[in-house]
């Protein structure tokens, strides 16, 4: 779908790759991406989710699908993939998320001969751990995968532990880390912030910003617990299962410095850009190991210091006392202290913000990330061509 992290990752990747190569997309998404040939997957029921998605309220999780439901959706993806291969005639397939889609790619290769690489985003590993059906779908498909990429060091380690070399010889060698990034062209326009101050009554106030899905895993509860000790205002942009509880705590504790925006979809992207511009610091207090989130990268490009937990892929971009500060997980006191430290030291905050933007420009733009994938595609295609010649010569 359009708004979650892995879909944003995929969309940005194919937009950049398509500038140099012809690209097709197989997905249950009708919205069009410019210059991309799209093949629609007609889901037999509302698309399932790994965790949740604001556009898919009420969807079942993959782990809750019955055997019949799982078979139906597997068939839908398989049919669309084979159709795309026959019409588009690709040199290579690239699937995102292990489990169902790795199984589809493996089957497609078995009857078409088209090689594949895969990307694990972490959320897929979580549902594989919870449901052994998806482990069985994945384990044999990895032997034929030419390359597996992971969006963070933590995701790579988790993947390798789950499918270790005793099960899949050579898997360490062909597994790489390629993080997400940002499309800098979308963020170059200067943003006015008077509308933010007018909306939230934050004139002349310091602002700490959280952007993301409101779940226990994101640690947003600890921002609320820290609020009364924070010497400024907090804007929480997003929606999710924890929204009702957060609204209740805000009301009961009379937290006048906390503002809730609700879900910010693609149609409100300009509003989010204004929030990034107006904020003095970004808070990302995740309590679980996650991939390096797009929110952190975007905020850093806006020259904002980041206060985050040292979890998952976050340390790939956030450096202590260089681009931000780390806080202990589930620690509201630590969050309040670090936010107030940034608020009170403008010079320090400015230097961190400048360093943050420099790191993004050097390492985390989609142009640079797409080039890494293009190299993998080309190496795989060349290797496959050499292997075919060897086979032909030996016949």
* Distance in angstroms (rounded) separating the CA atoms of residues 163 and 155: 12
Residues 88 and 114 sit within 8 Å (Cβ to Cβ): no
Q: What are phi and psi of 95, to 5 degrees?
A: -100, 150
Share of the chain above pLDDT 90, in %: 73
The predicted pLDDT at position 183 comes to 87
Q: How far apart are CA 312 and CA 300, in angstroms?
A: 17
Tell me which residues of the chain have a pLDDT lower than 50. 1, 388-395
Domain borders along the chain are 5-181+366-394, 185-363
Tally of CB atoms within 10 A around 334: 19
For residues 214 and 236, the answer to whether their CB atoms sit within 8 Å is yes
228: DSSP letter: G
Q: For residues 239 and 263, is the Cβ–Cβ distance under 8 A?
A: yes
Q: Are 29 and 43 in contact (CB under 8 A)?
A: no
Residues 223-261: tens digit of each pLDDT: 999 999 999 999 999 998 899 999 999 999 999 999 999
User: What tokens were used for 198?
Assistant: 């007018």
- Output the pLDDT for position 291: 74
> 185-363: CATH homologous superfamily?
Glycogen Phosphorylase B; (3.40.50.2000)
Six-digit token string for 116: 């594949």
State the DSSP H helix or E strand holding residue 112, giving kind and residue range, or none if neither.
Answer: helix 100-112
pTM above 0.85, yes or no: no
Q: Find all residues with CB under 8 Å of 75, minimum gap 6, and list them.
A: none
Coil, strand or helix at 284: strand
Tokens of 33: 């991406």
Residue found by looking up tokens 């961190």 in the block = 352
CATH fold of 5-181+366-394: Rossmann fold (3.40.50)
Domains 5-181+366-394 and 185-363 fall in the same CATH topology: yes
DSSP state of 304: -
Contacts 24+ apart (CB under 8 A), 161-165: 162/125, 162/128, 162/129, 162/135, 163/138, 163/139
Task: Please give the backbone phi and psi of residue 389, each rounded to the nearest 5 degrees, phi first.
Answer: -65, -40
Q: How far apart are CA 253 and CA 247, in angstroms?
A: 10
The one-character DSSP state at 34 is T
């Amino acid at each position: 779908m359009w708004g979650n992290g892995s879909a944003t990752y995929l969309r940005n990747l194919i937009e950049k790759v398509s500038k140099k190569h012809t690209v097709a997309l197989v997905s249950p998404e009708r919205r069009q991406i410019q210059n991309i040939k799209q093949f629609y997957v007609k889901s037999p029921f509302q698309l399932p989710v790994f965790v949740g998605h604001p556009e898919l309220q009420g969807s079942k999780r993959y782990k809750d699908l019955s055997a019949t439901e799982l078979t139906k959706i597997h068939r839908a993806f398989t049919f669309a993939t084979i159709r795309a291969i026959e019409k588009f005639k690709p040199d290579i397939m690239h699937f995102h998320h292990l489990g169902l889609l790795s199984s589809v790619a493996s089957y497609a290769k078995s009857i078409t001969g088209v090689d594949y690489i895969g990307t694990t985003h972490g959320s897929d590993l979580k549902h594989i751990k919870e449901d052994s059906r998806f482990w069985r779908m994945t384990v044999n498909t990895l032997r034929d995968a030419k390359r597996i990429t992971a969006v963070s060091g933590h995701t790579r380690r988790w993947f390798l532990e789950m499918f270790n070399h005793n099960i899949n010889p050579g898997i360490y060698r062909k597994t790489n880390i390629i993080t997400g990034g940002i499309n800098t062209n979308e963020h170059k326009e200067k943003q006015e912030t008077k509308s933010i101050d007018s909306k939230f009554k934050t004139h002349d106030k310091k602002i700490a910003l959280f952007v993301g899905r409101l779940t226990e895993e994101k640690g947003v509860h600890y921002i609320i617990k820290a609020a009364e000790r924070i010497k400024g205002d907090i804007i929480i942009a997003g929606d999710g299962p924890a929204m009702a509880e957060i609204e209740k705590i805000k009301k009961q504790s009379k937290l006048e410095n906390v503002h809730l925006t609700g879900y910010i979809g693609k149609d409100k992207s300009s509003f989010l850009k204004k929030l990034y511009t107006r904020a003095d610091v970004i808070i990302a207090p995740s309590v679980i190991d996650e991939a390096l989130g797009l929110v952190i990268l975007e905020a850093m490009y806006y020259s904002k210091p980041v206060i985050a937990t040292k979890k998952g892929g976050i340390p790939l971009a956030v450096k202590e006392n260089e681009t931000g500060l780390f806080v202990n997980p589930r620690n509201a006191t630590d969050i309040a202290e670090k936010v107030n430290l940034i608020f009170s030291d403008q010079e320090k905050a400015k230097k961190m913000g400048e360093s943050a933007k420099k790191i993004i420009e050097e390492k985390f733009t989609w142009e640079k990330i797409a080039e890494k994938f293009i190299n993998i595609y080309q190496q795989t295609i060349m290797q496959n061509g050499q292997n075919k010649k060897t086979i032909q010569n030996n016949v």
